[in-house]
Amino acid sequence: MEENKETKTEKEGEATAAAPAEKPAKAEAPEGDKKPAAKPAAKKAPAKPAKKPAEPLVDNGDGTITDPNSGLIWKKTDAWIDTHKFYLWNGHREYVEQVNTEKFAGHDSWRVPSKAEAATIFNKEKECIDKNGSVYYIDPIFERGGVGNTWIIECSDEKIIRYDFKTGVDTPYPPADIWASIRLVRKEGDPTNLPGASGGDQPADGQAEASDTATATEGGAPAVTNVAAPAGGSKKGPLKNKRPGGITDAERAEMLKNAKAHAANKKKG
């Protein structure tokens, strides 16, 4: 019996020794040392609806192109295709007035576009071919053979700015003999843009008077256009280009000099 008691006691001691010691209670961190509770994960913003693809431009079959995305109506051809001439900024009204006097496509509200309007038809995914066979980025629904730039209404005699359809950038130039083509636009509800009419792209004084404006021909030589007011009215008559043949360098320089002098006198007046 004594032996059994000793054996039992030994086993109980072994069991006690094998039992893991109780871990001391973890001291609670002071109130100021407690870590803030983790913030719940932010909810994901709902996905934005896919951008509606632009509607294609529409050829109206009358020499005009409608952009249903902007509501603008463009002339299918530019000034170069129509006249085979470039224009100085101070001579751009010649072309604008000619198109409006003829009431092209039944309207006389054609005008030079703004920078924002010109940018609506610049599209790097579209390619049109210019007069030299180079690419510029507008829809080929427009007539090929034009020029990849246009005057814009932000231009002035003091700040010459031309919009480039090859880069999508409006580029300022020093007041000098910078030539450009012209791509005309209109929108339903635009006022008439005939000479002497209020509003639109016309001379500030609205007066019809004899003027000489220099334009550039394909060979680079300027052509002088004489515009005179018809008797008994204030509107200018149809514009006729008097292109002299065989112009010498001296004659060309003289024409440019006269055109600049006329523009300066007009500005002073």
Q: Is residue 255 part of a domain?
A: yes
The alpha carbon torsion through 171, 173, 177, 179 (nearest 10 deg) reads 0
In this structure, which amino acid lies at residue 20? Answer: P
Rounded-to-integer distance, Cα 42 and Cα 146, Å? 55
Residues 6+ positions from 167 with CB-CB distance below 8 Å: none
Q: Compute the mean pLDDT over every residue in the chain, rounded to the nearest whole number.
A: 74
Over the chain, what HEC string results?
Answer: CHHHHHHHHHHHHHHHHHCCCCCCCCCCCCHHHCCCCCCCCCCCCCCCCCCCCCCCCEECCCCEEECCCCCEEEECCCHHHHHCEEECHHHHHHHHHHHHHCCHHHCCCCECCCHHHHHCCCCCCCCEEECCCCEECCCCCCCCCECCEEECCCCCCCCEEEEECCCCEEEEECCCCCCECCCCEEECCCCCCCCCCCCCCCCCCCCCCCEEEEEEECCCCEEEEEECCCCCCCCCCCCCCECCCCCCHHHHHHHHHHHHHHHHHHHHC
The verdict on residue 189 lying in a domain is yes
Minimum mean pLDDT range among 70-74, 147-151, 260-264: 260-264
d(CA 226, CA 239): 8
Residue 169 falls inside a structural domain: yes
End-to-end CA distance of the chain: 139
In this structure, is residue 218 part of a structural domain?
A: yes
Q: Is residue 24 part of a domain?
A: no
CA angle, residues 154, 157, 160, in degrees to nearest 5: 55
30 falls within a domain? no
- Say if residue 21's pLDDT is above 70: no
pLDDT of residue 53: 83
Q: Which residue segment(s) compose the domain that 156 sits in? A: 58-199+207-268
pLDDT tens digits for 31-69? 555 566 666 666 776 777 777 788 999 999 999 999 999
Kindly tell me if the per-residue pLDDT of 255 is higher than 80: no
Domain annotation covers residue 179? yes
Bigger pLDDT: 224 vs 120: 120
Count how many domains the chain has. Answer: 1
Nearest CA among 162, 164, 186 for reference residue 175 = 162
Residue 51 structure tokens = 């951008």
Lowest-pLDDT range, 35-39, 103-107, 140-144, 178-182? 35-39
Between 244 and 147, whose confidence is greater? Answer: 147
Whether 155 maps to a domain, the answer reads yes
- pTM, rounded to two decimals: 0.59
Task: Check residue 108 and give its pLDDT.
Answer: 97
pLDDT in tens, 192-242: 999 876 655 643 333 333 233 334 444 443 333 333 333 333 333 333 333
